[in-house]
Amino acid sequence: MSESDWNPDRYDSDHSYVYGYGEDVVDLLSPSDGERILDLGCGTGELTQEIERRGSGIEAVGVDSSDEMVTKARHEHPELDFLAADARSLSFDREFDAVFSNAALHWIPETDHGDVLSSVGRALRENGRFVAELGGKGNVSLVREAVRDELAERGYGYEEPWYFPRLGEYTALVEGNGFEVRHARLFDRPTVLEGECGMRSWLRMFGDGLLSEVPPEDEEEVISATEKRLKEDLYDAEENRWTADYRRLRFVAYKNCRKE
């Protein structure tokens, strides 16, 4: 998904579970009084605000690559500081006690994660921590498989817009870029998409990159066919809800300033 495809109003109204689940990651961050914390990939700023609420004198700064998200965040939370910035080239120099990220890193191409980690390292003060959650290996695998099969049947190509790494793969990358990983886990997190249109809404918001080869006039038909492929496994008619097969990778890493 390109930056221009983000719709912040639809994100807040239909996909608030993204930052709802993210409150657990704020718990893991455990902000302390007086800390300055960077929210990397802040979206509309809900978790940036939550971070500031967790203690006295905490200053949270939100950055996002989407101008639309930053504009909405500034409107909703005028008391906070939000900037449009690329995670691969942050301009901060040892300004933060912690960097926090929820559901953002998997949108960055695999080949660019070394740049992201170097950029985060520069932004952190000595012994600062990086606390993040992203999609991990196997994330939404049933959804991705259904889209891939439907596109193949129709003669369209398939290219994923995400990077969902293995646990060992990513922790090694983090440690190879100047951090010490002190906590990491990969886990299933089934995610409820409310209503009969929950999966359709998810595909339109987050799966847009998967459907990039589909002409606009055929998109509705492809989405409907994908829903049919998934209904038996992921839709509960009695509860009138979908459950997406999310898997998340979560870690806590500290900037390694010790001399070997």
Rounded mean pLDDT of the chain? 91
Place of tokens 């500290």: 254
- Residue 15: band (very low, low, confident or very high) from pLDDT cuts 50, 70, 90: very low
CA dihedral 106, 107, 110, 114 (to 10 degrees): -80
- Residue 162: band (very low, low, confident or very high) from pLDDT cuts 50, 70, 90: very high
Per residue in 35-88, pLDDT (tens digit) is: 999 999 999 999 999 999 999 999 999 999 999 999 999 999 999 999 999 999
Distances (CA, A) of 22 to 19, 25, 133, 186, 226: 5, 5, 8, 15, 28
Q: What is the pTM of this model?
A: 0.90
Per residue in 97-141, pLDDT (tens digit) is: 999 999 999 999 999 999 999 999 999 999 999 999 999 999 999
CATH fold, domain 3-255, is Rossmann fold (3.40.50)
Under 8 Å CB-to-CB from 149, ≥6 apart: which residues?
229
